[in-house]
Amino acid sequence: MKISLSQPDITDLERNAVLEVLKTSHLSLGPKVKEFEEKIAQYAGVQYAVAVNSGTSALHLIIRALDIKEGDEVITTPFSFISSSNCILYERAKPVFVDIDDSFNIDVDKIEEKITPKTKAILAVDVFGQPANWSRLREIANKHGLSLIEDSAEALGSTYNNKKCGSFGDVAIFSFYPNKQMTMGEGGVILTNDKRIADLCRSMANQGREERGGSWLDHQRLGYNYRVSDINCALGTAQLSRIEEIIAKRKRVARLYNEKLNFSGVSISNYLLDENTHPFVYVIQVDDKEKVIKEMAEKGIQCGNYFKPIHLQPFYGYKEGSFPVCESIAQRTVALPFYNNLQEDEISFIVNALKEIV
């Protein structure tokens, strides 16, 4: 067998939705963008959604909309995909890292000691789909007058205190890259209850144009070409209509892994046992991560190095030992193949190969 790390779940519903757009003249800035925005906002339980071309673009626009700039600081986690910190650097602000706890999410008990007069926001991440401690994060943000940014790129469908992820920050994002719970091919969305933030992000995503009034060549502010096409949004809307089916499929795969990984040498991460978490990836912990990834690849099984700590990426300039919990966990975490239509015989093949290695 050859088994990839991830695969999108695309059916005739999605294919036909895209083909319908291609029969029209509205390939961009058309009705499918608005339809997707309305439906994803309703799903997340917020008032406004702004669709853009990636989760990274969504985070960048949020940083600008909150007027975070050079000299400002944003508290965030070193254990995440790099976009959650790079978006701060784009505006020459400083990511201030706080170590994680054994949930893989930012350690809320260590945040306040990092707050300074330069701190403008907390950017927390729902790592691997597991909600961060949003009650404490909100309490800390309110106490210190900070904006709260929710990077929920990996947590579509997960819930915390009976509310969906994407609804806890002053502003939040989802990402729709093909390895996520649902995909638009490429795409992301900004979610908020603040009309001012939504309007600013929509303008900046479209070269600084105002949504209403003015001509195509009128630009009210510095903007970017972060638009997403109607083609992507048609795909996203079709996927969203299947979201409960998609989540159920992923839960099935996670459950089969949980049942079969019943031998020593492998530790199942706690978030995979939480019914409120709908996983983005299936991450285990092993003693010799590099050996597992290498030898699984030799058996035709692609595994992922989730995550290398952001602070140890070369251009961040930190030394090993700066965030010991993050570094210790990162030395052990491996993502196994995980996608909707992974079959039980394939899972057994993966598990047996892993057992032989460890």
Q: What is the pLDDT of residues 115-173, one digit of tens each?
A: 999 999 999 999 999 999 999 999 999 999 999 999 999 999 999 999 999 999 999 99
Asked whether the beta carbons of 111 and 130 are under 8 A apart, the reply is no
Q: What's the domain count of the chain?
A: 2
What pLDDT, on the 0 to 100 scale, is given for residue 213? 62
Query: 119 lies in a domain?
Result: yes
What pLDDT, on the 0 to 100 scale, is given for residue 136? 98
Do 207 and 256 lie in one domain? The reply is: no
Q: How far is CA 142 from CA 47, 136, 176, in A?
A: 21, 10, 30
Do 76 and 221 lie in one domain? The reply is: yes
| Residue 245 to residue 125: CA distance in whole angstroms | 25
Domain that holds residue 230: 12-241
Q: DSSP E strands: which ranges in 24-178?
A: 48-52, 73-76, 94-97, 119-125, 147-151, 159-160, 163-164, 171-175
From 217, 241, 265, the end of a domain falls on: 241
User: What's the whole-number mean pLDDT along residues 296-323?
Assistant: 97
What pLDDT, on the 0 to 100 scale, is given for residue 218? 92
What's the pLDDT tens digit per position in 24-78?
Answer: 999 999 999 999 999 999 999 999 999 999 999 999 999 999 999 999 999 999 9
Query: 4 lies in a domain?
Result: no
Q: Strands of 171-175's sheet, edge to edge?
A: 48-52, 188-192, 171-175, 147-151, 119-125, 73-76, 94-97
Q: Exposure of 342 by Cβ count < 10 A (0-12 exposed, 13-18 middle, 19+ buried)? A: buried
> What's the mean per-residue pLDDT of the chain?
97
267-268 and 163-164: which strand pairing?
A: unpaired
| Other CB atoms within 10 A of residue 161 CB | 9
Do 76 and 161 lie in one domain? The reply is: yes
What pLDDT, on the 0 to 100 scale, is given for residue 212? 66
The pTM of this model reads 0.96
Helices (H), 9-89: 12-22, 31-44, 55-65, 83-89
What's the pLDDT tens digit per position in 81-129?
Answer: 999 999 999 999 999 999 999 999 999 999 999 999 999 999 999 999 9
Do 193 and 262 lie in one domain? The reply is: no
Query: 1 lies in a domain?
Result: no
From 183, 206, 241, the end of a domain falls on: 241
Do 206 and 264 lie in one domain? The reply is: no
Scanning the structure block, which residue is given the tokens 């008032």? 47
| Other CB atoms within 10 A of residue 112 CB | 12
Q: Is the pLDDT reported for residue 274 higher than 70?
A: yes
Q: What are phi and psi of 327, to 5 degrees?
A: -65, -40
| Residue 154 to residue 128: CA distance in whole angstroms | 6
Rg (CA), the chain: 20
Query: 148 lies in a domain?
Result: yes
From 204, 224, 241, the end of a domain falls on: 241
Do 247 and 182 lie in one domain? The reply is: no
User: What's the whole-number mean pLDDT along residues 176-193?
Assistant: 97
Q: Is the pLDDT reported for residue 8 higher than 90?
A: yes
CA dihedral 272, 166, 250, 232 (to 10 degrees): -150
